[in-house]
Amino acid sequence: MTASFVYRRSYRGPVVACVFDWAGTMVDHGSLAPTSAFREAFAAFGVAISEAEARGPMGRAKLDHVRDIGALPAVAERWQAARGRPFDENEVQAVYADFIPRQVATAGAHADLIPGAADAAAALRARGVRIGATTGYTRAIMAAVAPRAEAQGYAPDVTVCADDIAGRGRPAPGLLFQAMTALDAWPPAAVVKVGDTVADVEEGLNAGVWSVAVTETGSEMGLSLAELEALTPEDRAARRLAAADRLTRAGAHFTIPGVADLPEVIDAVEAHLARGETP
């Protein structure tokens, strides 16, 4: 038997694009806006949910997020007791319709840039990296966020929202693929995805790109900047390590406290690429 040569292509160029999540990554330290809106929406139907229950599916498209909360056995039981009927798709749509205007209001009120976000994006652009974004937010929600972020110095070249594509949202890779197409960013090994949730990490992995997770500014920590800075150094370190462990176990290639630390990660990614290593 004659052995045959198999060519294996290896991309060894630079990072060409970085695609960020929004809440918890670039704006809204602690990803506080979605949590409060979900709790208020369920409470409007007489069903209380905890912060942990509201945060559990964070990063998903918001309609899927409502479905996931209602599918929790404890929430489903409370819903049945309060409403006298199961949490079916009709109930999902009712809660979602109540949620959207609440989320628009809270997202706009929590649109402050996370420290270092604008500088990190500017540093990437200075080295020729294109900037994109994907989000579980809808276009209506982003209309309350994007102008405020731009006024503070951050405006990605493209943002793909949960309702911009048909089919499954994150962790499916469709949003990220659309962002990559709009940015003319390829191959996947030349792209970095940055987010704060397991859904973000899995979105990157499912698209075949480098997946970077922030630990201190997002939903895993769940604290405002003031709350984070009020922690003792020991408590802050322990909580950061716990968040890093969860996100690393989800598959993140790198974890960093926040996006201010991203330029060093891009250097590390490009060193891997130069050696012919891929995500």
Q: What gap in Å lies between CA 93 and CA 63, rounded to an integer?
A: 8
Q: What gap in Å lies between CA 268 and CA 279, rounded to an integer?
A: 12
Q: What gap in Å lies between CA 25 and CA 16, rounded to an integer?
A: 20
Which of the following is catalytic: 21, 64, 98, 200? 21
For residue 21, say whether it is annotated as part of any ligand binding site. Answer: yes
Q: Are strands 158-160 and 191-195 parallel, antiparallel or unpaired?
A: unpaired
Catalytic residue status for 62: yes
3-state helix, strand, coil in the chain (%, to 5): 55, 10, 35
Contact between 183 and 160 under an 8 Å Cβ cutoff? The reply is no
For residue 196, say whether it is annotated as part of any ligand binding site. Answer: yes
For residue 23, say whether it is annotated as part of any ligand binding site. Answer: yes
Q: What gap in Å lies between CA 107 and CA 38, rounded to an integer?
A: 12
Which of the following is catalytic: 28, 62, 64, 200? 62
DSSP string, 32-78: HHHHHHHHHHHHTTT----HHHHHTTTTS-HHHHHHHHHHSHHHHHH
CA angle 152, 57, 103 (to 5 degrees): 45
AA letter at 16:
V
Catalytic residue status for 157: no
Q: By three-state DSSP, how is residue 133 classified? A: strand
Q: What gap in Å lies between CA 124 and CA 185, rounded to an integer?
A: 14
* Residues designated as active site: 21, 62
Which residue numbers belong to the known binding site for Mg(2+)? Answer: 21, 23, 196
